[in-house]
Amino acid sequence: MIIFKKNTLALAVASSLMAVTAAMAAEEPGAEKALELKEVVVTGEKIQRSQDRTLSSVAVVTAEDIRSHGDQDLQGVLGRTPSVYAQSGNENWGIRGIPVSGFDDQGPAAMNGAVSVYVDDALQVNRLLTHNPIQLWDMEQVEIYRGAQSTTQGRNSLAGAIIMKSKDPTFDPEFSVRSNAGKYGERGASAMANGTLIDGLVAGRLAVDYQTSDGYIENEFLDMDANQLRSSNIRGKFLILPSDDMDLLLTFARTKQRSGLNATAATNGRPDYYSVYENTETYNTLNQNTATAKLDYRLDDFWTLTSVTSGTWSKYDSILDFDRTTADNPTQTAPRHHDQSLGSQEFRLGYVSDRVDGVVGAYLGRSKGEIDDQLVNNGTVLLNQKGEINIRSQALFGELNWEFMDDWQLITGLRWDHEKNNTKINYPIRVVSVTDPTVDEDISSSVLLPKIGISHDLTENQVLGLTWQRGYRSGGVNIRSRARHDSYDPEFTSTYELAWRGNWLDRRLRTTANLYHTTWKDQQVSFRNIADGTTQVSNAADSRMIGLEFSAEYLVTSQLLLNAGFAYNDTKYKSFVRDGVDLSGYEFVYAPKKMANVGANYTFDNGLMIGSDVIYQGRSISNFDANGAREITKVRRSDSVTLVNLNAELPIGNLTLSGYVHNLFDEQYITNNQSDSLLDVGAPMTLGVAARYDF
């Protein structure tokens, strides 16, 4: 089933064209002469530079963009970013066809991921990224890097990285409150206070956000909402200025999340929108605390010493209806409790001059995870797996951008990364059979991750560049229950990327494009062992990716802003045998080949702002069915879909009223087609309103 309706797209495009025509007609002649798109500065690669001169494929969303698109959470940003796929609830998303957690399917206890997400320099745990999307209240900027960032970010950034930065304290007094409500029980309240604590020395900022929703999925058997969502976030920041040359920024945040079951029942693969039938309430809760201290010390006009110390502590609890039936006997559940702590210390020395920008640094990190998973049958514990993972990382890294002659720049980078991993697994209770009951495994690796490139200023506003870099994700031990806990090695990518950045029409039109070719060696993948039926992980695949990402932003008049994007990503397994079935030549699961978006934003003379986004995501493979002869009998696919979103905002003095509509035409579509009886679907039409008052 494909939900790509031509009349929907035609209506959306026609509406956008009518809005553009009307806006241009209403604009005063000559008003656009002084117009110019604002310069965007990115910092995620640890060298501060303009987005127009950054060759990495990075999409930047500022606080102004968040407001103009009516974004509520990170999922809204991901959904309209070319080459980033997402689904409702954010449970499954990825960059360039690579899932955020990778292809090794290690579950919620995973310590490795394919995308690193940082909020105010604190690394977020994997489970936070796939449940109840990160809220954007008081967020300053989001940078989405597509493609490996291993040279700068290290072990968990094979597919890319997301760098989120909230607003810093200032010495000017500010206070804001917001209340919001919407369909499916959406309710929320937010507040922000900012100002001077010690005149000229210490400024503080406190942001609080609470959101709740009943969700749109109903558990018909239990007669209750199946996917209730709750999230709260408290963030405190302190800016300390001991001298003119030193800044100390302290950030403390506490996040609590709860979510339910993001799936629906199906009959012969046809979904029951939006119902599920289970006799156990599924829930996931996550409590996370983070703390960061960032010190910048300007040694002189050229050199800056930076220290970043961060820690993340999380507790995850969940219960899953293991048999996923309504039968009283057996009633099987899977309770899980996981603790994770992530700590790091980074020192870096930055240099800036007319022709040379560079950074060198050292990194120390420690990650610890504790696992307590159970299988319970009618109150009796059949299986209890306990484990502990300790990872220690050290790295030395550097990058140099050198303008060796006019309009030509050399880009070089190198990272040495060393890691030690100790994984212990045991089974205090194992009534059911276990293939490998205990493990105490030590593994280590040392890798070099080079990057080299060259860029050329074709004109003052046109830049062309070519880079090559090596991507990396560390190895580990299979931690899935009832499986052999074998170790597996690191995986590596090699990417050639051609980048173009262009500004036109007196910098009112900005265009970016990246063309890439990636080869993937020793790819970490999960597969089912035919002999004993357990799920294993090994370096069993090689593959390649070829793609193009394009985006454009056009400030037509002082009141009208247009944006558009397109991504094409062709993924292919060059060699991969899973469950005895040869998948060579097939594309990755969850990897749509085509994605596109177009949007418009218009502000009337009275301040009323109206925006619209049309987002297309192509279909992708979700799973493969095979028969006893180990041949593929069916390729399960998600649906392609075109979604139309609207938002509006009206300022009235210090009061701002806003509203949004997502999935305007109430499209029904499958996002993850795993089986004939249970699958994931996209959200129906949702809408909400909010009122914000700034004192």
Q: 84: phi > 0 → left, psi -120 to 50 → alpha, else beta; which?
A: beta
Whether 126 contacts 389, CB under 8 Å:
no
Answer whether residue 215 is part of any domain.
Answer: yes
Question: What pLDDT, on the 0 to 100 scale, is given for residue 660?
Answer: 97
Question: What pLDDT, on the 0 to 100 scale, is given for residue 691?
Answer: 98
Answer whether residue 641 is part of any domain.
Answer: yes
d(CA 335, CA 318): 6
Spell out the residues 6+ positions from residue 30 whose beta carbon is closer than 8 angstroms to its own. none
Full domain range(s) for residue 299: 6-694
Answer whether residue 1 is part of any domain.
Answer: no
d(CA 394, CA 399): 17
Coil/strand/helix, residue 77: helix
Q: Indicate whether this model's pTM tops 0.85.
A: yes
Question: What pLDDT, on the 0 to 100 scale, is given for residue 32?
Answer: 44
**Type and span of the H or E element at 184:** none
**pLDDT tens-place string over residues 373-409:** 999 998 899 999 999 999 999 999 999 999 999 999 9
Whether 409 contacts 402, CB under 8 Å:
yes
CA-based radius of gyration for the chain: 25
d(CA 585, CA 575): 7
Answer whether residue 569 is part of any domain.
Answer: yes
Coil/strand/helix, residue 646: strand
The CATH number given to whatever domain includes residue 676 is: 2.40.170.20
Q: How many domains does the chain have?
A: 1
Answer whether residue 634 is part of any domain.
Answer: yes
Answer whether residue 337 is part of any domain.
Answer: yes
**Type and span of the H or E element at 9:** helix 6-26
Question: What pLDDT, on the 0 to 100 scale, is given for residue 87?
Answer: 79
**pLDDT tens-place string over residues 630-658:** 788 889 999 999 999 999 999 999 999 99
Four-CA torsion 26, 28, 30, 36, nearest 10 degrees:
-70
Question: What pLDDT, on the 0 to 100 scale, is given for residue 629?
Answer: 59
Q: What share of the chain is helix, strand, coil (3-state, %, to 5)?
A: 5, 60, 30
Whether 255 contacts 274, CB under 8 Å:
no
Question: What pLDDT, on the 0 to 100 scale, is given for residue 144?
Answer: 97
**pLDDT tens-place string over residues 166-212:** 999 999 999 999 999 999 999 999 999 999 999 999 999 999 999 99
Residue closest to 446 by CA, chosen among 396, 486, 496: 396
Coil/strand/helix, residue 63: helix
Answer whether residue 204 is part of any domain.
Answer: yes
Report residues of the chain scoring pLDDT below 70. 1-34, 89-90, 529-533, 628-629
Spell out the residues 6+ positions from residue 670 whose beta carbon is closer than 8 angstroms to its own. 1, 271, 622, 638, 639, 679, 680, 681, 682
